[in-house]
Structure 1
Amino acid sequence: MTSRDRNPRRASARGPAPGPAPLALQPLLAPIDTTPSFKHKAYTALKNAIVAMDVYRSREEIRLDERKLAQDFGISRTPVREAMAQLESEGFVRSVPRRGIYVVRKTKAEVIEMITAWAALESMAARLITKVATDEEIAGLRKMFAAFVDGKLRAHLDEYSDANIEFHQTIIRLSRNQVLIDLAENLFTHMRMIRRTTIGEKDRADRSIKDHMAIIEALEARATERAEDLVRDHALGLAEHVAQYADYLD
């Protein structure tokens, strides 16, 4: 044995012999049940029902009875309660202590704020469309309104309302920007409720289809700045309409 081997201070300086590298920590995950849960089904059904309501035309509060909903769905109250909690976090219902759960009716100021935020998102989507969408995809926007020309708009206002909503959803989708799409998803659900209410007011329908055709022409021409401006002005025009005429929101 050498003096180097007998010196414990020298040996400790070298440290212990290297062992096997530790395994990286991994979360313990259980297999995922791919079938929709009762909570998800209750959430989807409730959300669709709320969006279909004409909540902005009614002055009365709309109360949701958790017990009755569970009975109607044929499930326990727990998934209904969980669905309600998710809807409350998204701004569709509100829980009032000792009173119950009510469908949210946005104020005029809140609606205008939502439309203003939507104008920013949709105008950016229009800019992106001129860069990334195909000619066939843009042509599909024009086909949405083929049934409403030659004076047929007023006779098919409900159908036009649906086409109008699909148009704006498609504008967002064609941007191919997933972050933008995700940001717009919940906001547009609220927007859809107010768009359905306002489309038949004053000359909104006639102005809407003219705006849409101008937007489509700009997109077809890949006129980026014009398309962006037209989409933003179209959305802000709805905000102006709400501010001037939607007294039922106060």
Structure 2
Amino acid sequence: MLRVLGREHGAGLVDEIVVKVGADIIEGRYEPGDDLNSVELARVFGTSRTPVREALQALQREGFVDISAHRRPRVTTQSLAEVRDMYQVRAHLYRMVSRCVVDVATDRDLAGLRLVQTRLHDAAEAGDVDGYFWTNVEFRNTEARLTGNATLCRLLDNLGLRMLRLRHLSLSMPGRMAESVADHERLLAAYDDRDADVAAALTASIVLRGLRAIERSGWMTSRGTVT
């Protein structure tokens, strides 16, 4: 989780708060627009408000929290238009990722992805949404790393942090984990066949299927986040 939030080497109290509050936002225990009471968080973590403020400022930099004068920090809200834009950009970026994977990944690299896919299957069978989600994040991060394109990875990281909550929401909906497992099986088959066109089309479809699940759910509208 620290690595996902760009704080790989942290081990102090501020990082502990970042990880716990960040995970609570991503996994839906805090909803968009919810207040984050620094006094209550300080009590929960047995500390003063200073480390809590530092942690919330770190989460603000990553797009998880809104902080403004004269009001409590709040979980960031997003309009449906913003969500659609982010998913479209992510779909385009992952088309590039899949084409690069086909071009440069070795058989050993693809075998490593297959191992992650096995864990996705196991988490889906167990009905473990959180476990499936974080393994899915690992699958996508592994794909990006295999490209060897540092700029592409950086763009995906910056965008991806703001989408983690949405991705978790999508995968938590009924039937979505099984659907996702099947989609990733088809993507891996395209990688094995070294078919860049099919892989690019499949990966974009996987991303946009998540958007469609969110749109169908009415979740964004029910929270008043549509502009």
CA gap of 1:86–1:138, structure 2 versus 1, over 3 A, is same
Aligned to 1:72: 45
Q: 2:77 aligns with which of 102, 105, 120?
A: 105
Query: In the alignment, does 2:126 pair up with 1:155?
Result: yes
**212-221 or 198-207: bigger deviation:** 198-207
Q: Single out whichever of 104-113 and 233-242 deviates more from structure 2.
A: 104-113
2:162 counterpart SS class: helix
Alpha-carbon shift at residue 236 of structure 1 (Å): 1.1
Distance, in Å, in 1 between the alignment partners of 2:70 and 2:49 is 21
Deviates more, 1:225-234 or 1:193-202: 193-202
User: Take 1:75 and 1:98, find their aligned partners in 2: how far apart are those partners?
Assistant: 20
Separation (CA, whole Å) in 1 of partners of 2:40 and 2:135: 36
Question: Is 2:140 aligned against 1:168?
Answer: yes
TM-score, normalised relative to structure 1: 0.71
Matched letter for residue 42 of structure 2? L
2:6 match: none
Q: Distance in 1 between matches of 2:11 and 2:210?
A: 38
Confirm or deny that 1:178 pairs with 2:178: no
Match of 2:19 in 1: 48
Structure 2: give runs of 5+ residues left out of the alignment: 1-8
Matched with 1:237 is 209
Paired positions, count: 211
Residue in 2 that maps onto 1:15: none
Unaligned runs of 5+ in 1: 1-34
Distance 2:76 2:212 in 1: 22
Give distance in 2, aligned partners of 1:93 and 1:58: 11
Query: 1:100 aligns to what SS in structure 2?
Result: coil
- What is the percent sequence identity of the aligned residues? 25
Q: 1:235 and 1:56, CA in 2 relative to 1: closer, same or farther beyond 3 A?
A: farther
Partner of residue 220, structure 1 = 192
* SS at structure 1 position matched to 2:73: strand
Cα distance in structure 1, aligned partners of 2:67 and 2:162:
18
